[in-house]
A and B are shown apart, each in its own frame.
Chain A
Amino acid sequence: MENQTIIKVEHLAKKFGTFEAVKDVSFTVNKGDVFGFLGPNGAGKSTTIRCLLSLIQPDKGTIELFGKSLNNDRSAILRNIGSIIEKPDFYKYLSAQKNLEIFARVSGAQVSSKEIAEMLDFVGLGNRAKHKVKGFSHGMKQRLGIAQTLLHKPELIILDEPTTGLDPQGIIEIRNLILRLKNEQNKTILLSSHQLSEIELIANRMVIINQGRSIVEGEVAALLNSDETVVRIEIDEAETALKLVAESMNDVHVTQSGPNELEVTLSKQRVPELTRALVASGCAIHAIEPKRKLEDYFIKTIQA
């Protein structure tokens, strides 16, 4: 069951007038995946996601969800999907609870008042249930959006840029919510985001699209060669340290990325060895942290 295909998109294309927003996008999402959907601005991510949710009718290509054609079984398919497209918008003149009641009624499932209250608690809005949405911050709306996606207990959750416009605290809150969905509820999640570090942290598979075409698809770990890591070191006498590392450690790539900063590419197992060598040489280390590799991989892939 683990390899059951939940989303299968083949050769999707969509034009708006003469503008080809999506030219040829194909990818597959399996059950239980947290699937990163990446691409620069204007790559066609949102258009693809809107096609998946039947907001936009594609010109070419096929979309199958849960093994069914979106054209033939739209209602049955949408009953099993919860989604946030870019930013969740709600009826500002209604309370959080009323908004969820409205969406629950058309979700195709029986959702009780108790379940709505529990869902509001789950996203940390239990104490704001009766408050009108017009007074909510962007982060609170995002959390309410997630509550709305989960109300009818969907199997698949599609989140398009769920952290856009959020402050760091909001981004962490949403990330934790997604992790809870993955770990506690084993949902299949398609996550489109500009926050590559977020994708790297939580996605197991991904596709990168650029200029309307899918370029790379696969396991995140395999694509990023997860045995290797890049660490950023803030250090006094960076030039001396660079020389030391280059001379004393084999199979290590080291560069000076700033006056007091080094970037070292090496096997994860050798990070303690690197630290010991620097300490033993008397270099004063101010910080050492892993550098996210997805950013580099993404930029290289897009530029290629």
Chain B
Amino acid sequence: MLLKNTYNEFIKIVSKPRSYLGFGALTLLICIIIFAMKADGESIVSFVTASFEQTLSFNGKLVNGNLIAFIILQMLVVHIPLLVALVTGDLISGEAAMGTIRMLATKPISRTQIVLSKFIAGAMYTLLLTLWLGFLSLVVSHLVFGAGDLIVLNSDGLVILPEADILWRFGLGFCVAFLALLTVATLSLCLSAFSENSIGPIVATMAIIILFTIIGSLDVTVFDNIKPYLFTTHMASWRSFFEQPVPYDSIIQSIVVLLVHIIVLIGITLYKFNKKDITS
């Protein structure tokens, strides 16, 4: 029954026009970024490298597919949660608003299976969105700009990664980015169990992300103890794969925090939905 309903849930997601909004928005944004970098990428990069030119000399093609893919990821990972929440925040509350949850809950499928199938279908959607992001940022950037070494500017300074040492970093980086987005998807699914309208959980998810991001960026001692436990602190952990050496301990810690968030949020969703009187 779980598999059958997961299939149902996936059919519902792919049949809804709003599910394509994320893919459309990603495509448009990436095209704009690629166009902008094609038009003015050299001057943007030289502005960044100018401060290092007294001590370093740069040879070769700095504006290449790898750099563009990195920039795209950097810019969009912050915005993609909205696109994910747009679909996953609607999975339970949207059915409550439509009245179909009533029909579904009178079928011989347990409420736990209903929630889990929605979670799995939401995860599949998030994965597809992440893969689309990967395809557009990596493949299209390489087609337009070609390959090359990657220069990454981080808090410790400039990291130069040779072309042959980059692809696996993107691969693992996308995996962690997927986990971060899955946390957002689970959060919005959880909020969806508390609501009977579609918009509430989507807005609430974004509000929580903004709030946690602000708390994470404030340099206030009071917040120092909670920052490591906020999922937003770990949403940019994919970037750690582009450091030299790769800080695996920090990445594993982030993965654990995100997984704990996912498990706890699913637990809350199951508890709430199983106890809920369906009166809509």
Contacts and interface: CB of A to CB of B under 8 A. Distances in A.
A92 B100 CA distance: 10
Interface stretch (B41-49, B81-89, B103-111, B148-156): B103-111
A106 B279 contact: no
A50 B98 contact: no
Given A55-B278, A57-B277, A83-B106, A91 B5 contact: no
Contact of B110 (A57, A75, A93, A98): A75
Contacts of A53: 105-106
A76 to B, nearest CB: 7
The 7 residue pairs across chains A and B that have the minimum distance between CB atoms: A89-B99, A78-B108, A75-B108, A55-B278, A108-B108, A106-B107, A105-B4
Interface stretch (B12-20, B60-68, B72-80, B219-227): B12-20
A106 B8 contact: yes
Interface string A54-93: 1111000000000000000011111101010101111111
A26 interface: no
Contacts of A87: 99
A74 B1 CA distance: 14
Nearest to B111: A54
Contact of A103 (B7, B107, B278, B279): B107
B11 A98 contact: yes
A169 B105 CA distance: 31
Interface string A158-197: 0000000000000000000000000000000000000000
Contacts of B110: 74-75
B15 A93 contact: yes
Nearest to B110: A75
B272 interface: no
19 contacts: A55-B106, A55-B277, A55-B279, A56-B277, A56-B278, A57-B277, A74-B110, A76-B108, A79-B108, A87-B99, A89-B99, A90-B100, A102-B8, A103-B107, A105-B5, A106-B5, A108-B1, A108-B107, A108-B109
Contacts, number: 83
Given A56-B277, A93-B16, A102 B11 contact: yes
Interface in B99-139: 99-100, 102-110
A78 B114 CA distance: 15
A94 B15 contact: yes
Given A98-B11, A108-B109, 10 more contacts: A53-B105, A55-B278, A57-B277, A74-B108, A79-B108, A85-B103, A90-B100, A102-B8, A106-B8, A108-B1
Nearest to B1: A106
Nearest to A55: B278
A210 interface: no
Given A50-B278, A90-B100, A92-B98, A106 B15 contact: no
Contacts of A83: 106
Contacts of A93: 15-17
A148 interface: yes
A142 interface: no
Interface residues of B, number: 26
A107 B108 contact: yes
Contacts of A57: 275, 277
Interface-central residue, A56, A57, A85, by most chain B CB under 10 Å: A85
Interface in B1-31: 1, 4-5, 7-8, 11-12, 15-17
A85 B102 contact: yes
A88 B103 contact: yes
A170 B164 CA distance: 70
B108 A91 contact: no
A150 B25 CA distance: 42
Nearest to A85: B102
Interface string B259-280: 0000000000000000101110
Contacts of B109: 75, 106, 108
A93 B99 CA distance: 14
Contacts of B103: 85, 88-90, 103, 148
A179 B101 CA distance: 28
Contacts of A89: 98-100, 102-103
Contacts of B99: 87, 89
